[in-house]
């Protein structure tokens, strides 16, 4: 029986490989119908700004490689956008917000907050969390009833890389945001992927400008996310 199962699995893998190499459009259609859909909600770090060939090297693209063909990962990153509705560019107003909802994801990964740390955007933890709770409620209301993961924003390194100063993001506020996200995760009983704590010890990933990770940094974030998803795999099987 075990040998038969292995044979079926081998045939399936060969079929998937054939589809990838001969008909990407057909594979995409199959994924949309049968794959576990993962929506990566975020800002420029999710989008993959500054990364060469971000279509291939952004963290969502590399997460797709880690997860394999049973998953379809959508990149809904919006460069420069905030979680707070009072921010200069609220994520709520970007087409990616509507697109991430229409995607009807089985898993939602939220990594917003970096642009909220700018002096003219930051209005305090209370306002930030109020809008975050509303965002969580929105995704919970989707027909697909997704498992939601909160991701703390990456560490900012303005003291090491002067280009980061031009973005006017505040590293100390990023610390506040990260702590708030972790507390919100406990409050809402949602898993938290602590990107902030992980990247704090890896400034080498942010040599581009002190804010955006390079392809290696994006891969590290993808791996961290992959490991977190694997730990909770049984809870989001479609």
Output the CA–CA distances (angstroms, integers) from residue 124 to 26, 81, 237, in the order listed. Answer: 47, 17, 37
Do 219 and 131 belong together in one domain? yes
Q: What total of structural domains would you count in the chain?
A: 2
Q: Measure the CA–CA gap between 24 and 163, rounded to whole angstroms.
A: 39
Structural domain containing residue 12: 1-33
155 with 200: CB under 8 angstroms? yes
Q: Measure the CA–CA gap between 217 and 52, rounded to whole angstroms.
A: 13
| Residue 121: both structure tokens together | 């955007």
- pLDDT tens figures, 113-128: 999 999 999 999 999 9
Q: Strands across the sheet with 192-193, in order?
A: 71-77, 36-42, 107-111, 147-151, 192-193
Do 24 and 44 belong together in one domain? no
H or E segment to which residue 111 belongs:
strand 107-111
Instruction: Please return the burial class of 99, using the count of CB atoms within 10 Å of its CB with bins 0-12, 13-18 and 19+.
Output: middle
Q: What is the CATH number of the domain that holds 180?
A: 3.40.50.1110
Do 156 and 228 belong together in one domain? yes
Do 48 and 95 belong together in one domain? yes
H or E segment to which residue 129 belongs:
helix 125-140
Do 183 and 153 belong together in one domain? yes
Residue 191's pLDDT is 97
Q: pTM here?
A: 0.84
Q: How large a percentage of the chain has pLDDT more than 90?
A: 71
94 with 81: CB under 8 angstroms? yes
Do 23 and 75 belong together in one domain? no
**Contacts for 22-28 with beta carbons within 8 Å, 24 or more apart?**
27/69, 28/72
Do 29 and 55 belong together in one domain? no
- pLDDT tens figures, 65-105: 999 989 999 999 999 999 999 999 999 999 999 999 999 99
- pLDDT tens figures, 2-48: 555 555 544 544 454 455 445 555 555 655 666 899 999 999 999 99
Do 63 and 155 belong together in one domain? yes
């Amino acid at each position: 029986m075990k040998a038969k199962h292995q044979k079926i699995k081998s045939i399936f893998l060969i079929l998937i490989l054939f589809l990838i190499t001969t008909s990407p459009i057909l594979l995409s259609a199959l994924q949309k119908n049968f794959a576990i859909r993962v929506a990566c909600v975020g800002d420029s770090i999710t989008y993959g700004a500054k990364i060469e060939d971000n279509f291939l090297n952004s963290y969502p693209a590399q997460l797709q490689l880690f997860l394999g063909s049973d998953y379809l990962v959508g990149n809904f990153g919006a460069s420069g956008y905030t979680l707070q509705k009072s921010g200069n560019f609220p994520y709520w107003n970007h087409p990616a917000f509507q697109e991430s909802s229409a995607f009807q994801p089985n898993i939602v990964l939220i990594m917003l907050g970096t642009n909220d740390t700018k002096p003219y955007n930051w209005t305090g933890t209370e306002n930030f969390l109020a809008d975050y709770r509303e965002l969580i409620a929105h995704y919970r209301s989707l027909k697909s009833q997704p498992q939601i993961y909160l991701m703390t924003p990456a560490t900012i390194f303005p003291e090491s890389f002067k280009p980061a100063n031009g973005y006017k993001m505040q590293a100390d506020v990023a610390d506040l945001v990260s702590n708030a996200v972790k507390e919100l995760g406990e409050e809402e009983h949602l898993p938290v992927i602590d990107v902030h704590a992980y990247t704090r010890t890896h400034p080498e990933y942010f040599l581009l400008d002190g804010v955006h990770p390079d392809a290696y940094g994006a891969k590290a974030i993808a791996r961290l996310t992959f490991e977190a998803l694997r730990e909770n795999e049984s809870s989001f099987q479609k």
